[in-house]
Amino acid sequence: MSPTAGPVTDLLVRTAPAGTGTGPAVGAGLSVDDLHASLNDPALTSMTLLNEITGRFPEAVSFAAGRPYEGDYAPEALHRYLDRYTRHLHEDRGFTPEQVARALFQYGDTKGVIADLVARQLAVDEGLAVDPTSVVVTTGCQEAMVLLLRALRRDPRDVVFAAAPTYVGFTGAARLVEMPVRQVREGRGGLDPGELAAEVRRARAEGLNPRACYVVPDFANPGGATMSTADRERLLRLAEREGLLLIEDNPYSMFHDGGRRPPTLKALDRSASVVYVGSFSKTAFPGARIGYLVADQPVWEGGLLADQLAKIKSMLTLNTSSVAQAVIGGMLLEHGHSLERASASSAEVYRRNRRAVLDGLARRFPDPAAGVRWNDPTGGLFVVVTVPFEADDSALEVSAGRFGVLWTPMHHFYAGNGGQRQLRLSVSVLTPEEIDVGLDRLKRFVADRSG
Amino acid sequence: MSPTAGPVTDLLVRTAPAGTGTGPAVGAGLSVDDLHASLNDPALTSMTLLNEITGRFPEAVSFAAGRPYEGDYAPEALHRYLDRYTRHLHEDRGFTPEQVARALFQYGDTKGVIADLVARQLAVDEGLAVDPTSVVVTTGCQEAMVLLLRALRRDPRDVVFAAAPTYVGFTGAARLVEMPVRQVREGRGGLDPGELAAEVRRARAEGLNPRACYVVPDFANPGGATMSTADRERLLRLAEREGLLLIEDNPYSMFHDGGRRPPTLKALDRSASVVYVGSFSKTAFPGARIGYLVADQPVWEGGLLADQLAKIKSMLTLNTSSVAQAVIGGMLLEHGHSLERASASSAEVYRRNRRAVLDGLARRFPDPAAGVRWNDPTGGLFVVVTVPFEADDSALEVSAGRFGVLWTPMHHFYAGNGGQRQLRLSVSVLTPEEIDVGLDRLKRFVADRSG
């Protein structure tokens, strides 16, 4: 597809200092070593390289892009949502015109101004009874994770667990607060509570202090697994016994195959063990940068955990953009507080594409003995394929340059070993025709590597 | 004014655990001591108490509120700004309708999408030549400070300096990354470079690593001082010699008395010593939560400092809300990239109110021997009054409850001793009539305390 594929070693040549012509730099000049260690983290470097490869092959079919379906994006909707939210403040909440203007333009409540609408959505879509005072609206769910980890990381003994493979946004947030992430291998059924129990014991034996475990129980990114209700119950009992918080991240639950979904961890939680983290990036749109967390844990002499996290937020971003909250609020109001309804057409696209990828793989790799296997997620945006060779960055480079197809090496989602022979296919932004072309190319690439 | 003034000790009764009815808490229950030390910081606690006092006296005349003038806020402007920005993408930048939709709705560049418009504004209003690639658009300038401090705090020896009294947002950001803030006493002319040099020497002698100094050279909050051009030059020479970054925060420069302003530190900077931090909260509106930083320092093997800070941002909030950026972009376009023009009516209100407060103080406290003095800021939102008694939280409580007037005890802006007999009057949201009533009450309160 692209004739510009350079040698792999190009990727290792890092950018030379970009002189600004303003004279010598601070002191003897800054280097990355003068800055926080998160900037030198191998995971960050590898993600940067990955983006670089992807960016160099704009004409390749990309199974790498995880951004949401964008066919429904229409600027006029922003105006409609703003008007809908403004009318809500006026008609439903009795705001005067001055109060409406203040709500949109002034500094707002640190915990957010649409917490009540978020709580209604969780009731409608997830059957969750959430007190709006336990909600903090955040600048995307990324900030929600930072708030939580900043609160939990008091001293060098504090550690957090996460199902591996792990969403890179979570490991990034942990790096910022210098919190070690101990990975727990995920099976077909997602996070294994028995494995987590063993890891917690191991950490305690090392003198560490297990604080929390991050888990995406529904259609995890990137693994795709969904936890059974029985495993959710086991996980909750473990969390209660060990005094662990469970950080339940749920960006994909609306994108299911239509069957019955297990209840969220939060819905099953009887011991206030779960902090629920949500995002509107996939169900509404990422440009709003609106996420939230639900933290109803009582804190001795400190209200709810949500109140403590709001204090941290007041030092991080003060409050979440009122304009962006108004847009998301209007969208929720327009759809009767249901994201299931609001995101129905995206969900349909993802279902169609997931099916096209799974069927397309089955047609192209009919012989299991050839060593190409894939999982069968019942929802979400991703399919994981196992291949009989190293699916690393240099393989990706060849795949993109010589075969015109991009994907994500799974090893990026593991802290140590893992995923070396796996690749992630994202189904979110392609058409069925592109999927067909892309899978044909993937087949040729796999044949080339396996031969 | 308010009949509900309780005893001062009420303020010390902290909230009891707010049981959620969901059963026992995580482990043996969370307490604030289980969370990050920033949540136990005396400064945070005192600001919380301060907000609590303010909130209890809604009918008092408030010289405490620092929020901007809100007379110009009109929801229809949001629609106009969005349309103006959308037209700009289409007409000036040749975006197709799909590209416009993607720019507003999708994930965006970590460094922001209106960096070019920000650079134009800095050229128009401040005579600054800024390369848009050195700009990172942030979730308010609060996030900009966190990004910088996170980057600079590598290990426990790294410290930052700040002119005292210090804006509490900066000390809050520093607490999140556990970076000690060493205060440097501010004189009538603002930060004294000689004092800073002495503090830097002292820190080095203690084995510490001075990284940066935070300074608001124009109409500082809360001190109100403006640095002379000569002092700015001295400060820049010191920074270059010592390898210190200067974090120049400039939220108020548009709100001057009309005389000539000294150039910004960044305009005088020949050694890439200055990281410039800006905010649209006062010049446009806070609800957007749009700020930015300019970091053109070359980093060996790492592009510009802006590129490194963008990597940290990718772990903190991914990118700044595109919708909020579009609104601010539209406002800049509507006013020919000039915040001076965009905020002209707010600036006039602040000028008028500052004059009303200064004249009103002179009429009510004509005798210097009485020990009531005040500064004479040539811009900004604040006036600092020195009184012959302790202006602490309990004095504020009496002032609010018995005399119906609120202000901010200056000691909140000092890490240790300082400001005990000073109070800050904010002029931003009152009318001249309210200022008159408020100063009458302040006079009675001062007479009561001094008598």
Instruction: Return mean pLDDT, chain A.
Output: 91
Provide mean pLDDT across the span B72-82. Answer: 96
pLDDT given at position A21: 33
Looking at the structure, do residues A274 and A166 belong to the same domain, yes or no? yes
Provide mean pLDDT across the span A111-134. Answer: 97
Distance CA B225, CA B223 (A): 6
Distance CA B142, CA B214 (A): 13
Q: Which residues of B touch A25 (CB under 8 A)?
A: 271-272, 297-299
Residue pair B292/B154 in contact (Cβ under 8 Å)? The answer is: no
- Is ipTM strictly over 0.95? no
Q: Which residues of A touch B281 (CB under 8 A)?
A: 107
pLDDT tens string B352-361: 999 999 999 9
- Identify the closest residue of chain A to B320 by CA–CA distance: A289
Q: Is residue B1 part of a domain?
A: no
Q: Is residue B70 part of a domain?
A: no
Structure tokens at A299: 């804190």
Looking at the structure, do residues B336 and B350 belong to the same domain, yes or no? no
Distance CA A37, CA A174 (A): 12
Q: Which of B16-25, B194-203, B399-408 has the lowest mean pLDDT?
A: B16-25
Looking at the structure, do residues B302 and B412 belong to the same domain, yes or no? no
B370: domain CATH number is 3.90.1150.10
Looking at the structure, do residues A282 and A386 belong to the same domain, yes or no? no
A278: domain CATH number is 3.40.640.10
Q: Which residues of B touch A35 (CB under 8 A)?
A: 151-152, 154, 299, 302, 308
Closest Cβ opposite residue A296 in set B20, B173, B272 = B20
- Identify the closest residue of chain B to A45 by CA–CA distance: B311
Q: Is residue A263 part of a domain?
A: yes
Structure tokens at A343: 């995101």
Q: Which residues of B touch A288 (CB under 8 A)?
A: 321-323
Q: Is the pLDDT of residue A15 over 80?
A: no
Q: Is residue B71 part of a domain?
A: no
pLDDT tens string A194-234: 999 999 999 999 999 999 999 999 999 899 999 999 999 99
Q: What is the nearest CA distance from B278 to chain A, expressed in angstroms? A: 14
Provide mean pLDDT across the span B326-347. Answer: 97
Provide mean pLDDT across the span A295-309. Answer: 94
* Residue for token pair 């504004």: B121
- Of the residues B307, B315, B322, B325, the best mutation for testing chain A's interface (the one with the most A CB atoms within 10 Å of its CB) is B315
Three-state SS for chain A is CCCCCCCHHHHHCCCCCCCCCCCCCCCCCEEHHHCCHHHHCHHHHHHHHHHHHHHHCCCCEECCCCCCCCCCCCHHHHHHHHHHHHHHHHHHCCCCHHHHHHHHHCCCCCCCCCHHHHHHHHHHHHCCCCCHHHEEEEEHHHHHHHHHHHHHCCCCCEEEEEEECCCHHHHHHHHHCCCCEEEEEEECCEECHHHHHHHHHHHHHCCCEEEEEEECCCCCCCCCCCCCHHHHHHHHHHHHHHCCEEEEECCCCCCECCCCCCCCHHHHCCCCCEEEEEECCCCCCHHHCEEEEECCCEEECCCEHHHHHHHHHHHHCCCCCHHHHHHHHHHHHHCCCCHHHHCHHHHHHHHHHHHHHHHHHHHHCCCHHHCCEECCCCECCEEEEECCCCCCHHHHHHHHHHHCEECEEHHHHCCCCCCCCEEEEECCCCCHHHHHHHHHHHHHHHHHHHC
Q: Which residues of B touch A74 (CB under 8 A)?
A: 101
Looking at the structure, do residues B242 and B187 belong to the same domain, yes or no? yes
Instruction: Return mean pLDDT, chain B.
Output: 91
Q: Could you tell me the pLDDT band of residue B21, with boundaries at 50, 70 and 90?
A: very low
Closest Cβ opposite residue A104 in set B24, B35, B287 = B287
pLDDT given at position B44: 83
pLDDT tens string B173-230: 999 999 999 999 888 899 999 999 999 999 999 999 999 999 999 999 999 999 999 9
The domain boundary residue, chosen from A341, A358, A381? A341
Looking at the structure, do residues B174 and B312 belong to the same domain, yes or no? yes
The domain boundary residue, chosen from B306, B341, B376? B341
Looking at the structure, do residues A199 and A246 belong to the same domain, yes or no? yes
Query: In chain B, what percentage of residues exceed pLDDT 90?
Result: 85
Count of domains in chain B? Answer: 2
Q: Is residue A23 part of a domain?
A: no
pLDDT tens string A229-275: 999 999 999 999 999 999 999 999 999 988 788 999 999 999 999 99
Q: Which of A219-223, B40-44, B244-248 has the lowest mean pLDDT?
A: B40-44
Q: What is the nearest CA distance from B397 to chain A, expressed in angstroms? A: 23
The domain boundary residue, chosen from B319, B341, B363? B341
Looking at the structure, do residues B19 and B120 belong to the same domain, yes or no? no
CB contact under 8 A, B301 and A15: yes
Q: Is residue B2 part of a domain?
A: no
Looking at the structure, do residues A378 and A310 belong to the same domain, yes or no? no
* Residue for token pair 């129980």: A217
Query: In chain A, what percentage of residues exceed pLDDT 90?
Result: 85
Q: Is the pLDDT of residue B117 over 80?
A: yes
Q: Is the pLDDT of residue B64 over 60?
A: yes
The parent domain of residue B351 ranges over 8-65+344-450
pLDDT given at position B261: 87
CB contact under 8 A, A30 and B299: yes
Q: Could you tell me the pLDDT band of residue A426, with boundaries at 50, 70 and 90?
A: very high
Comparing B261 with B449, the larger pLDDT belongs to B449
Looking at the structure, do residues B251 and B382 belong to the same domain, yes or no? no
Q: Could you tell me the pLDDT band of residue B11, with boundaries at 50, 70 and 90?
A: very low
Provide mean pLDDT across the span B168-176. Answer: 95
CB contact under 8 A, A299 and B100: no
Looking at the structure, do residues A119 and A189 belong to the same domain, yes or no? yes
Looking at the structure, do residues A370 and A227 belong to the same domain, yes or no? no
pLDDT given at position B26: 60
How many A/B residue pairs have CB atoms within 8 Å? 352
Q: What angle do CA B63, B67, B71 make, to 5 degrees?
A: 100
Q: Is residue A11 part of a domain?
A: no
Q: Is residue A18 part of a domain?
A: no
Q: Is the pLDDT of residue B1 over 70?
A: no
